[in-house]
Amino acid sequence: MINKQAITKEDIHPILKNRWSPRAFANTMVEENKLIRMFEAAQWSPSASNEQPWCFFLGIKGDETYQKIFDTLVEFNQLWTKTVPVLILSCGRKMSLKNTDIPNKTFMYDVGQAVAHLTFQASSDGLFVHQMSGFDTSKAAEIFSLPSDFVAVTVIAVGYIGDPEILHPNLQKMENNIRQRRDLAETVFTGDYGHSNKLLNK
């Protein structure tokens, strides 16, 4: 397996350090109990006013839901997802559940948190997750008959990591690239925008 462990300045949790988004997935089914744990983890994610403005469509390779999700993907993503055993569509409720006339301003943030919880639980079970924005959100809303106050947010590939050799040569190069992030000094500020927090200057 490719070692893509994050090179961090501080020691962070191994799950976070080893999490990355591969495109080479093994054509191996994911155990049902692991799938259930993923959604249980997502269910216990925090959300504003406990509105839980998320829902998920679970597609297992070979079933109708999987094919419907696959059909919404852009061509580039369809190229590498052919061996992915699980595709999930995450969706969010735009309006408040408690007052349907008021928009839920944090619904996208909350859906993202739920998917993050799902991702970390999957990682702890030896699975890998690749999230995608490259799909037709309107088509997804139509073929899954989403209510008018819901939108499709992301498609999520889940499975065991595979051999990069199964990928197109251009994608193989991407699979082996070193993981990088910008310096924390460019992210954590004090006072005005761009003024790095003194903690990061030590």
In a domain, 6, yes or no: no
17 burial via Cβ count (<10 Å: 0-12, 13-18, 19+): middle
What's the CATH code of the domain at 134?
3.40.109.10
How many domains does the chain contain in total? 1
Residue with the larger pLDDT of the pair 191 and 110:
110
- Which phi-psi region, left, alpha or beta, contains residue 195 (left: φ > 0; alpha: ψ -120 to 50)? beta
State the pLDDT confidence band at 101, using cuts at 50, 70 and 90. confident
Q: Are strands 86-93 and 128-132 parallel, antiparallel or unpaired?
A: unpaired
- The predicted-structure confidence for 39-95, as pLDDT tens digits, reads as follows 999 999 999 999 999 999 999 999 999 999 999 999 999 999 999 999 999 999 999
Q: How far is Cα 145 from Cα 170, in angstroms, rounded to an integer?
A: 36
Q: Among 60-69, 97-106, 125-134, whose mean pLDDT is lowest?
A: 97-106
* Residue 22, domain member (yes or no): yes
Closest to 71 in 3D by CA, of 133, 130, 25, 135: 135
Is residue 180, in this structure, part of any structural domain at all?
no
Does residue 191 lie in a domain region?
no
pLDDT tens by residue, 155-192: 999 999 999 998 988 888 888 888 888 888 899 999 99
Q: Quick one: pLDDT at residue 45?
A: 98
47 falls within a domain: yes
Q: Which domain holds residue 95?
A: 14-175
* Residue 77 domain-assigned (yes or no): yes
- CA pair distance 19, 129, nearest whole angstrom: 8
Q: What is the mean pLDDT of the chain?
A: 94
Do the domain assignments include residue 194?
no
| Least confident stretch, 16-20, 73-77, 111-115, 165-169 | 165-169
Looking at residue 3, its pLDDT comes to: 73
Lookup: tokens for 11: 């020691």
Mean pLDDT for 4-10 is: 87
* HEC string for the chain: CCCCCCCCCCCCCHHHHHCCCCCCECCCCCCHHHHHHHHHHHHCCCCHHHCCCEEEEEEECCCHHHHHHHHHECHHHHHHHHHCCEEEEEEEECECCCCCCCECCCHHHHHHHHHHHHHHHHHHCCCEEEEECCECHHHHHHHCCCCCCEEEEEEEEEECECCHHHCCHHHHHHHHCCCCCCCHHHCCECCCCCCECHHHHC
- With a cut of 80, say whether residue 2 has pLDDT above it: no
Confidence of residue 202 (pLDDT cuts 50, 70, 90): low
pLDDT at 198 over 70: yes
- Largest distance between two CA atoms of the chain: 54
Q: Is residue 94 part of a domain?
A: yes
Q: What is the Cα–Cα distance from 200 to 187, expressed in whole angstroms?
A: 10
Per-residue pLDDT, 78: 96
Confidence of residue 9 (pLDDT cuts 50, 70, 90): confident
Write the pLDDT tens digit of every residue in 38-51: 999 999 999 999 99
